Structure formats: C-alpha cells, structure tokens
A and B are shown apart, each in its own frame.
Chain A
Amino acid sequence: MSKTIKLKQGFDIRLKGKASENLVQDISASVYALKPTDFHHITRPKVLVKEGDRVKAGTPIFFDKQNPSVMLAAPVSGEVIEVKRGERRFPLEIKILADKTLEYEQHPTYNLEQISKLSRQEVTDLMTKSGVWANIIERPFGLIAHPEHTPKAIFISGFDTSPLAPDYDLLLRGEEVALQAGIEALRKLTDGKVYLSLSAKKPSKVLEGLQGVEINYFEGKHPAGNVGVHIHHLAPLTKGEYVWTVHPYGVAQIGKLFLKGIYDATTIFALTGPEVASPQYYKTYRGAQLRPFLKDNLTRDEHELRIISGNVLTGEKVNIDGFLGFYHHQVTVIPEGNYYDFMGWILPISKTSTSLSFHKGLGMLSALFPKKEYVLDTNYHGEERPFVQTGIYEKVLPMDIYVEFLLKACLANDLDNMEALGIYEVIEEDIALCEFIDPSKQKMQKTLRDGIETLLNS
C-alpha cells in the first residue's frame, strides 16, 4: 500500500549555484581513479593490479579481505598508471589512464524474463564478480553489503533533498529498461519488499513507472530524501536485522549488467555551487578526474575554493586534480572561509551577514527570507564546545532518536547504550544536518562513525 508520509522536522540549506538542466557530453576526463577510501570499513584492501597493467572496464581492481567475494572494478579500460598509497601502504587511489574507445569485460546477458528466473546465488555471483555489488549498501553501519546476509528489505530513495542535489530525472533519463532489470535482480536478493520512496511534491517521472516495488511518498525538508529516514518510517531496523539500500543509479547499473553483460560505469554528475561559472550536468564515468570539468568553469583561483565531491553536508574535499567519489553524482564548489571576522559573533551585519542560519538568535535573520539563496563558506563561525543547546537536533532529524544521548554514548564507548539508542538506524548522512545546525560546532558525523567502528571492532 503506497503511503504519503509528511515530515515536520528538517531544514533546507538553500545554496546558490543550482545546476541548469544543460547536459554536457563532449568534455571527458582521461584519468579515472578507484579509491578504497570511498567505502566504509575497508580495512584490508588487496589490490589486484600494479602500475603498467592493462585493464578492461569491469576488470576487478581490488577487494577487501573481510568480504573477499565482492570485487571493485575498473570504471574504464586503459592502463593503470599509479597506485597511490598512504600510511602503512594503504592504497588511496588506483589511477587508470583511459582508452579512447572502451573495452569491456563481457558477462552473460539476460532479458527481463530470464532475470526473474535466475536463482539468488546466480544473481549474487554475477553481481559480486562484476563490480556492481558495491552499489548495495548495508544498514546498519553503511558498509558494502555482505553477500551472505539476507536483508529484510531493500530500499531505494528516488529523490535527494541535500543542498544543490541533482535532479534524478536528469541522471536517469532513458534508463527505464535498465532500472526495471535492476529491480528484477534486486528482488532476488531479499525475501521482503523492495521499497522505492519518491518525493510527494515532485515525484521522479522516470522512477514512478517502475514495477515490482512498493512506492511510498515523502514530503518535507531535508533529510526527507535520505534513505535512512525512509527505513525508519517504513521498516525500522533493530539488532540482528539487515536492510540494503541502493541509489537509483546503482539500480540502473545493475540492470545494465544483466541486459548488456558489461560493467557500465557511465554516469552523470551535477557541477554545482556558488563558485561555479555555469553550473550544469556532465556525462562521464565513475571516478573521473575533475580538472577537465572545472578548469574553465571556476569563478576564481582554485586555492580560494573548496571543491567537494558530493554535497556540502557529506561530501569529501578534493583538489582540482581529485576524482569523483564512487557514490557521488554531484560536485560542489564553495569559497574557503579562512578569514578572521571582527566581532563576527555579535554583529548582525558583518562578513557573515549573508550566512544562513537554522536558528533565529541575535542578528540571524535568514528565517525572514525563505527563498533567498546563500553563498556559504567553510568558516566554522565559532569554536568547538561541549553540548549546551538542547532539543535542537530533534528538530532536524525526522526519526525517534535522541541524537545528543546517542552521541554521548559514542563518546563514552558505551556499546549497550549505542545499540539501545539507535545506532543501527543512522549513518553519517542522517545526522549531517544536526552537525550543520550545532552551535557547539561538534564533529558529530565523525563521533558517530567512531562509535560504529568501535561497535564493529568489539
């Protein structure tokens, strides 16, 4: 039964620089990278290639010794030009110089009807060895799904409410068949339902027509589009249970694997933000180097800017020669905020006067301009302090979770309380907005991840 769920909690961060609907196809990167650091809790990666090796698109590049059947594959064909390593030789980036015309690892092909007749094992085997399995994220903890776990449901969020988020219809236009094939494959993996959640206000036209899924509608401000919120309201998670989540792009990629027999890493990302001259969409491959897209499109010198793969809440800082993150469909560019602001904490008009605020404290008048778009920089606007203001986090998290108490349990390494207070239900993206609004400027996402790591290692 499809439901419409209205959420009262939340806050939209209205940033300047929304991508226009223009899709650029003629700019392409020559170097692509796969980064083990894009995935949580990969502690023992085993790299399968070395510098100078030739790979095809879909050739396994590395795997995690804790989850050895799941391969991470090359997005493009070409030559491995560098395996960049960090501390204790941990691989950070495996760079591939792409061929002009791509060659693909070939897998068997199926039509829709054949997919529905495959066994779970056959589906899992093909997906894990081909590289598409990494699209499936497992809750609790937000790790790459373990093929031996059986999820009680699979969740697909059909919209994104984070700042300057790309429009899924633009990302997925023309992929209807692949999406349907992906759904057929995913249905093999769970005994429960496959849930697809759509925006009640502007449901995606591409996704709304999919069959074999339960469609529910969500209405509200960010984080209404977060899959964690959907799980909380539709099939809440408790200890010992698993749910899997897949981005619609991942569903289409899984579909294309079955239909065409290849690991097709073609992707579209939105280049957004106030410091982008013409924010628009670009078609490329996963892991593309960003320089070709950014070099003539920034408003000022790159050193004065923060280039973020992903959105401003959960993305990762990269430099202009950095790469598009594995799960990212957005690049945001905002100004760096490394300036001193004279009396900035009291003056209503200062350098930070255009600052957006969830709060309405002294001089924080942004609530009076509900449609204004803001240029936010990376300044902290204060310093880190202990928890003082209470009850505010619950105003932006549409879940029955006491964020402050959960994080205190994480800080205290109190495993029992972490479990009891709902650590199974949240990952970083769910509490990112709490971190944004926090007047005490705490690093909540990091605290939560440290708590999760403690739990995983206990």
Chain B
Amino acid sequence: MMWLRKKLDQIKPLFEKDGKFASLHPVFDAFETFLFVPNHTTGPRQEVHVRDAMDLKRMMVTVIIALVPCLLFGMWNVGHQKALATGIAMTGWEKFLFGLEKTLPIIIVSYVVGLGIEFTFASIRKHSVNEGFLVTGMLIPLVVPPTIPLWQVAVATAFAVVLGKEVFGGTGMNVLNVALTARAYLYFAHPSDIAGSGIWVATEKQATVDGYTGETALSVAATTASKLKEAGQAFSAESVVQALNDYMGGMFTFKNMFLGTIPGSIGETSTLMCLIGALILIATGVGSWKIMVSAFGGAYLTALFFNAIASDAYMAMPAHYHLVMGGLAFGIVFMATDPVSAAHTETGKWIYGFLIGVITILIRVLNPAYPEGIMLAILFMNVMAPLIDFYVVEANKKRRLSRATV
C-alpha cells in the first residue's frame, strides 16, 4: 500500500494550513485516517508511552458487525414478507435480492446525508470527523419500514444529526440516541409512513392475499384486546395468543416472532438475530450487558405485573410474548446500550435499563394510540440518564465525605 501512502503524502500539503483546500482539511483527514491509522506517537512526558490497540473506529465497527445478522436477515425478510403478502412464490435468493433492492437505497441515503452533514460541520468547526455516524448510519435504515420514502430518510437523518448531535457538540456530547431521534422525527412528522398497517411490507402495490392487513404483531394484539373489550367478551391470555396464532394462518406464533419472519421495520423483527448481535457486543465488551439484562428483566417483570392485573386481554397476554414482539430486542441491544446517551455509571446502567423495560411495556399496554413503546422509552430514559448518573455520583461524594475524620 506504499503507492497509496505516497499519493496521500503528495496531496496532503494542499489540505494543510495555507494550502489550496485548507478548509477541506477535516474531509481529507477523515479519508486519510480511514485508510491509514495515523503515525501519531505518544507524548514525551505526563502521558503513557504505550496505548491500547483499541480505538473508537474499531469499537464502532464492532457494533456494525454485531448489526450484520439483523441486516442480512432483515433484507431476506423484506422479500419473504412480500411473498407472504402477495402469495407470489419466491426463492430464498429472490427474497434476499428484493430486500437488498429495497434496503440498499435507504442505507446509502442515510450514510450520504449523515456523513455529508458530519463533514460539513467538521469543516466549519475545524474538528476531525468522528466515527459515531458509522453506527448511526446503519441503525437508521434498520428501524424504518421498507416502504419509507427516501426523501423522508434524508430529512430524518439530517434532523437527527443536526439537532440530535451536532448542536450538542458532536459525537460523545449528544443527549439523545441519534438514530432514535431520526425515528422519532419520522413518527411525529410523517406518522402515516411509519405507523399503522399497510406500510410494513413492501408489496409494490401488488394485490395481496385475502385477509391480509399488513399489521404488526403488536397491533394485532392491541386490536384483539380492544375488540374483545368492546364486544364484552370474556378474555384470557389464550384469547390474544389465539388471535395472534390465527392471523394469516399462524404468522404470529411465538416461534415466528422469535425468528422474525413477521412484518415490521427492516432490521428489528428477529429476536434471534438481535441476540446474536447481543452476544457479539457482550463478548467484545462494547455493549453493556448490564443494560441489556436489566432492560429485558424490567420488561418481563412489568409484563408479569400486568398479567396479575389482567383487566383486559392485552394485559393478560403471556409476559414472554412481549420480549419477542416489536422492536424491543433490537432497541435494547443496539439502542439502549449506546454508551454516550445511556447512563455512564455502572449502578446507573442497572436503573437505566430496568426503567427502559418498564416504560416500554407501560406504553405498549396502556397507551391506546400506539402499540410500540421501546423508542419513546429509550428516548425518555436518554433524557433521564444524566439525572440517574447525578444521583449515583452524589452517593459516591457522600460516601467520600462520610469518611472524613476532621
């Protein structure tokens, strides 16, 4: 790779101070450091002389690798859902290629728009470009339905990067999870394209099979509960499970929901793939297992609590169903564990994760308008995380003060 290095060294002066393209230095720097780890060496004193081989780029790429199972499965599932909805027979490859065709443009738009904004801000601020968007750019396509208009992806990404991150000072300073900010923007600005039925499956306007409504498992569960209530019928856990099992001849069985062969956002339907991602994140130490465990625990316990009340059928739905439905697993594994917007203290992470689980189920079960809760729960807890940390740190200060002998 010497020729490449030589080429870079040749054009480097153009981007240095007083060079022709000095204002584009961060852009050049981003490409250069992407190709080559720079030759920076540690300082002569007041600094360690050796550094760990891990850096932020490697950390972010580890997250992207953890996302790959969800991404690949999601692409296949986009095709699979089309086949189910339209009744057209498709081979596995055809399904995957159809999904690729639908997903790739979203990924490209997300990265081009996001990185474009990052480069612009870095050039204006004379910063180097941070790696944070590498992950965000992959997360955004995975939490939107395959039918999302590309211009909306572009606008949402721009909104999230500018208002969710850059106004706070960039990667490491943001309060909210950037990808979820994009999702929240879409939810509030373009609700008809990101919520409800009919948007989760890219049917390409082809005729659907009889009885197909394109709902997600969550909305099937919620509507079943309200229908039973309206009809004044007796309800039980079985009635919701029955309704889920009956839908489209067994689409929403527990097994299918765990595997992810159900309609939903591109990357978040498969709990199994999320768990594979979780294993990668935990094994590499990049994602916090404490947040994951406590969030799943919080959700499960809250669902059990509602089982005990069981004043409608949805409340009575078996608690473990909640764990495989909707974006819960994806949100917990990839969004809640974002180290910047989560609680920074280890004690705080237990509380933060647990409350995410609790609030998700509260929103799901009690909110009549919108059956999914993980996004708002994480965003709400993002805002609360500094407060949790504040109290954990205050406790530490108190401990320190209490030891004082004078």
Contacts and interface: CB of A to CB of B under 8 A. Distances in A.
Interface of A: 13, 15, 152, 163, 236, 238-241, 306, 308, 312-317, 332, 334, 336-346, 352, 355-364, 366, 376-383, 385-392, 394, 400-402, 404-405, 420-422, 428, 432, 435-441, 443, 445-446, 449
A50 to B, nearest CB: 27
B37 A334 contact: no
A208 B40 CA distance: 44
B212 interface: no
Contact of B393 (A315, A405, A443): A405
Nearest to B54: A359
Contacts, number: 232
For A163, A316, A358, A390, which residue has the most chain B Cβ atoms within 10 angstroms? A390
B43 A344 contact: no
A16 B135 CA distance: 36
Contacts of A334: 49-50
Interface string B56-85: 111101100100000000000000000000
Contacts of A379: 37, 39-42, 51
Contacts of B339: 388-391
B310 to A, nearest CB: 38
A385 B37 contact: no
Given A340-B36, A364-B58, A383-B40, 19 more contacts: A239-B404, A306-B49, A317-B45, A334-B49, A337-B39, A344-B37, A359-B286, A362-B58, A362-B65, A380-B38, A381-B55, A382-B37, A383-B56, A388-B59, A390-B288, A390-B339, A435-B47, A437-B54, A439-B52
A383 B345 contact: no
Contacts of B344: 390-391, 404-405
Contacts of A382: 37, 51, 54-58
A238 B401 contact: yes
12 contacts: A334-B49, A361-B285, A362-B61, A378-B49, A379-B42, A381-B52, A381-B53, A383-B33, A386-B171, A386-B173, A432-B48, A439-B54
Nearest to B4: A342
A383 B61 contact: no
A317 B45 CA distance: 6
Contacts of A437: 52, 54
For A152, A163, A363, which residue has the most chain B Cβ atoms within 10 angstroms? A363
Interface in B266-296: 283-286, 288
B49 A315 contact: yes
Contacts of A240: 404, 406
A345 B48 contact: no
A340 B404 CA distance: 51
B368 interface: no
B41 A336 contact: yes
Given A340-B36, A378-B41, A421 B397 contact: yes
Contacts of A420: 397, 400-401
A317 B393 CA distance: 36
Contact of B41 (A338, A394, A404, A405): A338
A146 to B, nearest CB: 17
